[in-house]
Structure 1
Amino acid sequence: MKKVILSLGLLVGMAGVANAQTSTKFGVKAGANYTKFSGDNLGDIGYKFGFVGGLAANFGLSESLSIQPELLYSMKGAELKGAPFDDYNFKLNYIELPIMFRYTLSDGKGPFLQAGPQIGYLVNTKLSDGDGNEIKFDNDSFQKMELGYVAAIGYQSAMGLGIEARFNGGINSIGKDDDAYDQQRNRVFSLQLGYMFGGK
């Protein structure tokens, strides 16, 4: 895990060096997650909504190519339906660091595509029943670190306003080995709005 974090840090450092003769932008973003679990032995599991938001930086490598790291608070989870769950609401909240390569059609603005790796840290978990009553369970059965990937399509205006549709998925399971959730992974669709400051 330390090697993964170091590699991500080196990517950010390389972006800073490459930025010497290109543009740098910083911004904020917020949106909604539409999230569930994927994997084996799930039964009837539905999507649920959650908040996502945080900070972003964009380091230009050329007129069309840039690297964009972000620091986000992301609410994930699933709605567990039917026996043996009886309509429970499962929440997992993460601090996430995606580092994406972005390709923009024209000089940092207009339509764009971006993709890259992501690492997340599980902040807390919560399970509640259909009436909103919290249910106690063992938080230690869940992985604290999540490795994942991100892909997105969006539009960035010349004024700094942007919108994007994003998908991110977990590579490792949410549960530890031999746990009830060791075959499940996070799957998240999100719609995000943002504003970037600075630039050329």
Structure 2
Amino acid sequence: MKKVLLSVALLAGTVAVANAQTTTRFGVKAGVNYTTFSGDGVENAKYKFGAVGGLAANFGFSESLSLQTELLYSQKGAEIKGTDFNFKLNYIELPIMFRYTLSDGKGPFLQAGPQIGYLAKVKLSDGDGNNIDLDNDAYQNIALGYVAAVGYQLPSGLSIEGRFNGDINSVGKDDDVNDQQRNRVFSVQLGYMFGGK
């Protein structure tokens, strides 16, 4: 009898925990980056535009607090002042952000957290659009950074946000090209989470 009561108690506890677990929603994102370099030796670097987009997952702990993770393809880099050279860095990025929505899961929201990126490709092009070969081994494969954003979530699942992200490690490896320069990015992103409220 004790075993039956214990089994029933464990089953009830499991159901209660399952009901208390997070609400998960998935979605897509797309937007535009406005990107350059920060750090030493960036006097000739100016902002350029790039694309950003990918997938998102939101794990809701309550109506207001959630964890948002994303898998993004993000174009970064800079243009060089006084020339037509366009420096392009293409990353696969994984931001992990805590998100606070001010009004029960919809309306204005704030989010912030760390980000890790993998450098997929480095390219340099001239004013005629010709690509100049660069050695990927001269650049850091992994970019560690941070993200902060403010946005607005509609009940339908559509959202818009302004985001800033920066790296804490350099673009280039030590004692190599761009070894004192870090990515700095402002972006505007549209998102859609399926299963809108």
Note whether the superposition's TM-score is higher than 0.5. yes
Shift in Å, 1:78: 0.3
- Pair 19,148 (structure 1): closer, same or farther in 2 beyond 3 Å: farther
Given that residues 23 and 199 in structure 1 are in contact (C-alpha distance below 8 angstroms), is that contact kept between their aligned partners in structure 2?
no
Q: Do residues 189 (structure 1) and 193 (structure 2) align?
A: no
Runs of 4+ in 1 over 3 A off after TM superposition: 17-22
Percent identity, aligned pairs only, is: 78
The one-letter code of the counterpart of 1:29 is K
Given that residues 122 and 134 in structure 2 are in contact (C-alpha distance below 8 angstroms), is that contact kept between their aligned partners in structure 1?
no
Aligned match of 1:11: none
| CA–CA separation in structure 2 for the residues paired with 1:174 and 1:53 | 21
The one-letter code of the counterpart of 2:23 is S
Given that residues 54 and 72 in structure 1 are in contact (C-alpha distance below 8 angstroms), is that contact kept between their aligned partners in structure 2?
yes
Aligned match of 1:98: 95
Superposed CA offset, 1:77-118 (max 9, x none): 100122xxx321000000000000000012211000000000
| CA–CA separation in structure 2 for the residues paired with 1:80 and 1:125 | 15
| CA–CA separation in structure 2 for the residues paired with 1:20 and 1:129 | 56
Q: Do residues 119 (structure 1) and 126 (structure 2) align?
A: no
* DSSP 3-state at the match of 2:179: coil
Given that residues 24 and 199 in structure 1 are in contact (C-alpha distance below 8 angstroms), is that contact kept between their aligned partners in structure 2?
no
Q: Mean Cα displacement is larger for which, 140-149 or 126-135?
A: 126-135
- Pair 70,19 (structure 1): closer, same or farther in 2 beyond 3 Å: farther
Correspondences of 1:143-162 after superposition (within 5 Å): 143-162=140-159
Equivalent residue for 1:132, pick from 129, 134, 155: 129
- Pair 102,18 (structure 1): closer, same or farther in 2 beyond 3 Å: farther
| CA–CA separation in structure 2 for the residues paired with 1:61 and 1:80 | 45
The one-letter code of the counterpart of 1:30 is A
Q: Do residues 164 (structure 1) and 165 (structure 2) align?
A: no
Aligned match of 1:44: 44
- Structure 1 or 2, whichever has the larger Rg, is 2
Shift in Å, 1:19: 8.6
Q: Which runs of 5+ in 2 are unaligned?
A: 1-16
The one-letter code of the counterpart of 1:122 is L
RMSD across aligned positions (CA) = 1.6
| CA–CA separation in structure 1 for the residues paired with 2:37 and 2:53 | 21
Q: Which runs of 5+ in 1 are unaligned?
A: 1-16
Given that residues 116 and 150 in structure 1 are in contact (C-alpha distance below 8 angstroms), is that contact kept between their aligned partners in structure 2?
yes
